[in-house]
Chains A and B, each alone.
Chain A
Amino acid sequence: MTDPYAATSTETTEGRVFTVGGQDWDDFTDELNPDASERVVVNMGPQHPSTHGVLRLILELEGETVTEARCGIGYLHTGIEKNMEFRSWVQGVTFCTRMDYLSPFFNEATYCLGVERLLDIEDQVPEKAQVMRVLLMELNRISSHLVCIATGGMEIGALTVMTIGFRERELVLDLFELITGLRMNHAFIRPGGVAQDLPPGALDEIRSFVALMRKRLPEYAALCNANPIFKARLSGVGHLDLEGCLALGISGPVLRSAGYAWDLRKTSPYSGYEDYDFDVITWDTADAYGRFRVRLAEMEESLRIVEQAANRLADLEGAPVMVADKKIAWPSQLAIGADGMGNSLDHIRHIMGESMEALIHHFKLVTEGFRVPPGQAYVPIESPRGELGAHVVSDGGTRPFRVHFRDPSFTNLQATSVMSEGGAVADVIVAIASIDPVMGGVDR
């Protein structure tokens, strides 16, 4: 059997071959080409600390100026879409939550909305589940924007922005841990609703978080908004106007920084977003500074939504969080035990000791899962980075036939070239940070 990855001959048929064998470096470079220009091709990444994960940039430089910028991606490709075809519809959530690891709830939500549309149960998802989805997504938007601002600040040397950004994000992750049991990879939003009800005391924690963030968010504005160094590094960098955004399929804060108030939460509301009062933030500079301001203001809007969702949840105590159809709703229940979150002992007692039918039902739904009628659906949502959608195809079986995620990071990263070419090499970092790509979502 031939090895497709075996080494091939190292002899090249093009260009000159230079052999570096320990001679004096100056002699070697003189010999290279005495009238060579300053054109250099630099490989930045895939392990460079300033490229937001494993992104490889191939930069062609003329002195300090970037003449050509290209992206090499795929270093974090994990075959999540393929793997989902071998698991049940519910297990798919466990996979897709790991794609864009800074916005896990959005991945889960768009997938579940697609599955629910194919199941034709969109109207049966209980109100409390919808409100909890909105609450979690908006908290997630805050944590994701905080990471974007924090890492973007770190990359230009604004370390305080980084430390306070991660400090606040930790508070959001604590809320996630309280509500879902996990800081990341929650698999909490399920087809038909959410995995479980809010734990006791969660609303108080959320309210105190909102109150704290109302004090802390102005700190970012005070630190950055008029900071001359910050503005000098960000203003006019990574420019991309509205025409460019539409041609390249750019959505999210990049599009809104070009002045277009396009937000799927307003234009095609899902999960009941039409019932919340919030504004779509835009800016008119179409540059990295505008994107920073859009994200900062969006966090304030998200706080408004979180507050409204918390108020609605206070009136929904004890309401169901999963669709009533027992052929779809996940049968197992979770509870906090002595060793943390796990299967509810009451539920286990019920299926093991009380009801044979409940055991069969549990077994059938957990191992085999439910069937989804044949067809395809695409329900995009507004993730922190733009339009995130899952193209869900079913052949009527118990597993997804095909799920393709349209990840905004993947699409928006195409703007790297047009944002960085002609600028200084230091501005490439700022431009990419303003796109806010998450490589887990880009490569999937």
Chain B
Amino acid sequence: MSDTTPGGPGKDPQPATHEPSSPEIEATTDSTSGFVRSPAVGVRKGMFGARDGGDTSGYGGLVAPIVYPGQAERPYGGWYDVVADSLEGLVERVVIHRGEITFHVAREHLQNAMQTLRDEQRFEFCAGVSGVHYPDDAGRELHAVYSLLSMTHNRRIRVETTTPDSDRHLPSCVATYPTLDWHEREAWDFFGLVFDGHPALTRIQMPDDWPGHPQRKDYPLGGIPVEYKGGTVPPPDQRRSYS
């Protein structure tokens, strides 16, 4: 099985909506809100998606860093601290956004953290893993996001781990949560995440001999132009996008 992305139906991969982060944007402390801002993972430029001149509005010169919610600081409040205490030493950072808590865990601690959460904090139920591809998050391009639920305490958390694109390995958690069997296969299928220790890491949605991993950002959407009443509508990934 080839691991490369196919050329697609004769066109370039989707145009990048933002470019790699510039080095001057670093982590800063926001004195007003009290949490540490995370470094930008990209820069958004312009406004109307026009990149080849012709923009007379002046908005084409806009530059805005893409910043995700930053690290929360203790005390997190309520049961968040109880769960965080049990993961002491395993967690890189904790993000609380819109009332949802996310524990960022390095991949070498993932199995340990999941086991602890299930056995000590009674997170009996795992709602699966969702892969996310951040092509501009250098060294952490691929994220695997687990959603855990404690039915005993009625608590819900997220555990997030990352891998660089050059080394897409992370440990499988099927031994802790057997439900992850198909979910990890799906993440492998769509993102190329290799879950070491999975009992049978094969493709699940795409055909077995499919080249590439379709939900990565560098994989083209595909599609053909459609003619309708004399006009031609380009495929969705070649239409104007608003940056």
| Chain A residues with a Cβ under 8 A of chain B | 1, 4-5, 73-74, 77, 79, 81-83, 85-87, 117-118, 120, 246-251, 260, 262, 267-268, 368-369, 374-378, 380, 387, 389, 391, 393, 395-399, 401-402, 404, 406, 410-411, 413-414, 443-444
Q: Once the chains bind, are A406 and B242 in contact (CB under 8 Å)?
A: no
Residue B218 at the chain A interface, CB threshold 8 Å: no
Given contacts A118-B98, A249-B126, A376-B145, whether A4 and B6 have CB atoms under 8 Å apart is yes
CB distance from B219 to the nearest CB of A (A): 8
B166 at the interface (CB under 8 A from A): no
Cβ–Cβ contact B209 & A268, under 8 A: no
Contact A4 B209 (CB under 8 A): yes
Contact A389–B127 (Cβ < 8 Å): yes
Residues of chain A contacted by B7 (CB below 8 angstroms) = 1
As a 0/1 sequence over residues 135 to 153 of chain B, the CB contacts with chain A under 8 angstroms (1 = contact) are 0000000000101010100
- Given known pairs A4-B2, A395-B66, the reply for A410 and B124 (CB within 8 Å) is no
A-B contact pairs, 14 of them (CB 8 A): A4-B209, A74-B205, A81-B215, A82-B221, A83-B221, A86-B221, A86-B237, A247-B179, A249-B179, A375-B97, A395-B41, A398-B242, A414-B179, A444-B205
Q: How many A-B residue pairs have CB under 8 A?
A: 133
CA distance A389 to B209 in the complex (A): 30
Q: Which residues of chain B come closer than 8 Å to A395, judged between CB atoms?
A: 17-18, 41-42, 66
* B109 adjacent to chain A (CB < 8 Å): no
Chain B positions within 8 Å of A73 at CB level: 204-205
Q: Which residues of A contact B151 (CB under 8 A)?
A: 246, 260, 262, 267
Residue in A86, A267, A414 whose Cβ sees the most chain B Cβ within 10 Å: A86
Q: Which residues of A contact B183 (CB under 8 A)?
A: 411
Q: State whether A77 touches B206 (Cβ < 8 A).
A: yes
B197 at the interface (CB under 8 A from A): no
Judge whether A74 and B206 touch: CB under 8 Å. Answer: yes
- Within B199-243, the residues touching A (CB, 8 Å) are 203-207, 209, 211, 214-215, 221, 236-237, 239, 241-243
B127: which of A4, A5, A268, A387 is its contact (CB, 8 Å)?
A: A387
Q: Which residues on the B side are within 8 Å of A413 (C-beta)? A: 182
- Chain A residues with CB below 8 A from B181, complex form: 414
Which residue in A4, A267, A368 is a CB contact (below 8 Å) of B211?
A4
Contacts of B207 in A (CB 8 A): 74
B124's closest neighbor in chain A, by CB?
A246
The answer to whether B163 has its CB under 8 Å from any CB of chain A is no
For the complex, what is the distance from the CA of A378 to the CA of B159, rounded to whole Å?
A: 12
Q: Select from chain B the residue with minimum beta-carbon distance to A413.
A: B182
B189: nearest chain-A partner, CB-CB: A74
Q: Which residues of B contact A380 (CB under 8 A)?
A: 127, 147
- Convert B1-31 into 0s and 1s, putting 1 for each residue whose CB lies closer than 8 angstroms to a CB of A: 0100011000000100110000000000000
Known contacts: A117-B98, A376-B145. The answer to whether A368 contacts B221 by CB under 8 A is no
Contacts of B64 in A (CB 8 A): 396
Report yes or no: A247 in contact with B6, Cβ–Cβ below 8 A.
no
B93 at the A/B interface (Cβ < 8 Å)?
Answer: no
B125 within 8 A of A: yes
